[in-house]
């Protein structure tokens, strides 16, 4: 594989791209080769949680389920934070049990996510997807063991260049999430910012992938 797309919501079936496709329990598509599965804070439905968790746990046992998520906390939605936190913590404990990395959705709740990681003693890799914040925030996340994934905001926000450059090469991933651009566009900009050629960047992300996912698919 030449490219790894850390987080996308659509499977493009490109031969040179390994895609970690986000799946939701109630909409699971078994035809997707590699995926993450989790309860997004936007889509928490209390009377469905038991079923959702049963599905997630069954999929975490599968070899082509590479990660749990996306899951996390979002302070800009109406779902109560205590419910969000309960659902998030339960998913983290499942990830720990099945030794799967976690794809994190975080909006205005970085301190809470750091605190939960510490309080639950989560040791599996946790990756903040779609990062768009400042160097101070990224520094604190890195100091607490998180990985950082960049995508649409890297393309849209020129101010993220310095933030991206500040992240060590062994601690980041690249993604498309919901944008129309292909992952190679994100790779091209990332290579430019890191002042490396494309092949070097591909090798670095392949190394990061192997470190986090404990497999050599790419």
Q: Would residue 42 count as lying in a domain? A: yes
> Does this model's pTM top 0.95?
yes
**Contact 188/3 with Cβ under 8 angstroms?**
no
Structure tokens given for 93: 């404990």
pLDDT of 190 reads: 98
For residue 41, give the CATH number of its domain.
3.20.20.140
**Contact 175/149 with Cβ under 8 angstroms?**
yes
DSSP state of 129: -
Query: Rg (Cα) of the chain, in Å, rounded?
Result: 16
Is residue 7 part of an annotated ligand binding site?
A: no
Q: Would residue 218 count as lying in a domain? A: no
CA distance 3 to 176: 12
pLDDT in tens, 163-174: 999 999 999 999
Count of the separate structural domains present in the chain: 1
pLDDT in tens, 147-194: 999 999 999 999 999 999 999 999 999 999 999 999 999 999 999 999
Q: Would residue 183 count as lying in a domain? A: yes
Is residue 52 part of an annotated ligand binding site?
A: no
Structure tokens given for 178: 């919901």
Q: Which domain holds residue 164?
A: 3-213
Is residue 177 part of an annotated ligand binding site?
A: yes
**Contact 56/73 with Cβ under 8 angstroms?**
no
pLDDT of 216 reads: 79
**Contact 209/62 with Cβ under 8 angstroms?**
no
CA distance 97 to 118: 16
Query: What does each of the 218 residues of the chain score in pLDDT, given as a tens digit?
Result: 699 999 999 999 999 999 999 999 999 999 999 999 999 999 999 999 999 999 999 999 999 999 999 999 999 999 999 999 999 999 999 999 999 999 999 999 999 999 999 999 999 999 999 999 999 999 999 999 999 999 999 999 999 999 999 999 999 999 999 999 999 999 999 999 999 999 999 999 999 999 999 987 87
pLDDT of 29 reads: 97
Q: Kindly give the interhelix angle for 49-60 and 81-98, rounded to the nearest 10 degrees.
A: 20
Q: How far is CA 112 from CA 89, 90, 129, 141, in A?
A: 11, 15, 16, 11
Is residue 40 part of an annotated ligand binding site?
A: no
């Amino acid at each position: 594989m030449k490219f790894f797309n850390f987080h996308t919501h659509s499977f493009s079936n490109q031969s040179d791209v390994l895609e970690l496709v986000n799946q939701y329990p109630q909409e699971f598509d078994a035809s997707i080769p590699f995926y993450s599965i989790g309860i997004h804070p936007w889509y928490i439905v209390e009377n469905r949680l038991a079923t959702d968790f049963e599905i997630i746990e069954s999929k975490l046992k599968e070899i082509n389920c590479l990660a749990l998520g996306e899951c996390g906390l979002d302070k800009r939605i109406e779902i109560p934070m205590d419910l969000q936190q309960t659902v998030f913590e339960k998913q983290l404990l499942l990830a720990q049990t099945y030794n799967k990395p976690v794809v994190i959705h975080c909006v205005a709740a970085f301190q809470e996510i750091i605190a939960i990681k510490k309080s639950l003693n989560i040791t599996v890799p946790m990756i903040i997807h779609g990062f768009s914040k400042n160097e101070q925030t990224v520094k604190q996340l890195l100091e607490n063991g998180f990985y950082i994934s960049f995508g649409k905001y890297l393309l849209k926000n020129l101010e993220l260049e310095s933030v991206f450059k500040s992240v060590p090469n062994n601690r980041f991933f690249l993604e498309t999430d919901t944008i129309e651009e292909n992952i190679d566009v994100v790779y091209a900009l990332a290579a430019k910012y890191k002042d490396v050629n494309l092949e070097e960047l591909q090798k670095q992300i392949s190394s990061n992938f192997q470190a986090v996912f404990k497999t050599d698919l790419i």
